[in-house]
Chain A
Amino acid sequence: MRRAAFFFASVFLGPLSCVVGCGDPQRSHAIDALGGEQAGVPPGPLHRPGQPCGACHSGAGPGGLEFSLAGTVYQSPTSTTPLVDAVVFFEDGAGRQFQTATNCAGNFFVVPDDFEPAWPVFTKVLFAGLETPMSTPIYRANSCTTCHSNPEGPASVGQVYFAPPGFTFPPSGCP
C-alpha cells in the first residue's frame, strides 16, 4: 500500500507540480517588472505603450493574442507624444511586404495570421509623405523595446521615433 502511494506520488504529483510551478521565470520576471495597467486604459490595443509587447504577446505568454511584430512609435526621440496614424512598413528576408498603422496610443501590432516574417525584417515609418527607415534590420525581436527601450544607453537606441525635435506634427493622442 505504501509502495503504491509512493508510486502514485512519483508518477502523477511530480509532473503536476512542474506544470503548476515550472513556468518561464524569465518571462514572469519581465511581466512583473512592467507593473499594473495605466488607470483608465483597459487591456487592449491602446494599453501599455512603450512596453515590451512580446513579454505577454508571444509564444506561451499570458496575452490573449500573439504578435509577430509590435511596438510604439513616438513623434520625436524625447517626446512622450505618440505618433498617430503613421504607417509602419515591413519587408522580410523573403521579400514579402506588409504594412500596418499606429493607433492613437502610437501602438501597432501584427498577428502571425496576417504576416509571419522570415528574418531579417527591414522596417520604416511613413508619415506625412516622409519616411524614416531603421538603419539596421531586425533579426529576431518581435518587440521594438528589445532594442528601443527607454532610457537610451549602450544597449538601447532609445524609443522608436519618426522625426527629430522641431518637426511640426498635427494634434495627437487618444480621445
Chain B
Amino acid sequence: MTRIALSARRSLMFAALFVTSACAGPSPDDTFTMTAPSYDDFRNLTGVPVGDVFAAHCGTLDCHGSAARNLRIYSVDGLRLDPHDVPNQKSAASQQFGTTEAEYQATYESIVSIEPERLSQIVQANGAGSEHWLVLGKGRDVQDHKGGQRLVPGDAADTCIVLWVSGAPVTSMEFQAACADGSVVVPPGGPW
C-alpha cells in the first residue's frame, strides 16, 4: 500500500472518530429537572391571575385560544377545557362564571412547556435573560409572530409576565398592579 493511501485512510478514520464524538447525543442517564415559575404566583389568588393577562392578550379564539396551537390559552372568554363549556358562559359543571381552576392549570402547563430549558435558566437567574424566552420574544414581536406585537416591554401585561418568571414577590404592589392593569384590553380611545 502506498504512503498516500495509508495517509488517506488514517485521515478518514480521524474524521470518522471526530464526527462520532462530536455528534454524540446525551447519555440515556441524563435527566432534566425543570425549574418552573410558580403556579401559585401564576394563579395569584390574592389578585388578578397571570393567566388572565395571557388570556386577554394572547388567548382569544382567533389566536392562542385554539386547540390547533402549541401554546394554548384556556379561559372563560376563549377556548374552554371542558367539552361541555362554552366561551363567555358559566361552567357546566360548577355553574360558576369565570375561568376554571382546571383551565388555569392547563394554561400554565402549556406556557411553561415552551422552551422549558431556557425558562428554567431564566427562573434560576431571577428573570435575567427573560427577553430570550420564546413566549416573550413572540409576544413582543421580536421573534417572528403572526399575531404581531401583543406585549410592549415595560407595559403592564409584559411587566406582569416578567415579574412572574423572575420570581418576584406576588404580594408586591408592582406585581399586583401590573397583573390587574395587564388583564384588561380596551380600545385606544378608552373603554366603551
Binding site for B on A (CB under 8 A): 91, 93-95, 97, 119-120, 122, 124, 131, 133, 135-141, 146-147, 152-158
Contacts and interface: CB of A to CB of B under 8 A. Distances in A.
Nearest to A96: B188
Interface stretch (B4-12, B144-152, B157-165): B144-152
Interface in B134-192: 146-148, 150, 185-189, 192
Contacts of A146: 61-62
15 contacts: A122-B186, A124-B192, A137-B60, A137-B185, A138-B62, A139-B60, A139-B63, A140-B62, A147-B60, A147-B62, A154-B79, A154-B83, A154-B86, A155-B66, A157-B86
A119 B147 CA distance: 9
B80 A154 contact: yes
Q: What band does the interface of chain B fall in when counting residues whose beta carbon is under 8 Å from A?
A: 20 to 34
Given A120-B185, A133-B192, A157 B146 contact: no
B148 A157 contact: no
Interface in B90-116: none
- Looking at A93, A135, A140, A147, the one whose CB has the most chain B CB atoms below 10 A away is A147
Contact of A140 (B78, B79, B80, B147): B147
Contacts of A122: 186-187, 192
Contacts of A97: 189
Contacts of B62: 138-141, 146-147
Nearest to A97: B189
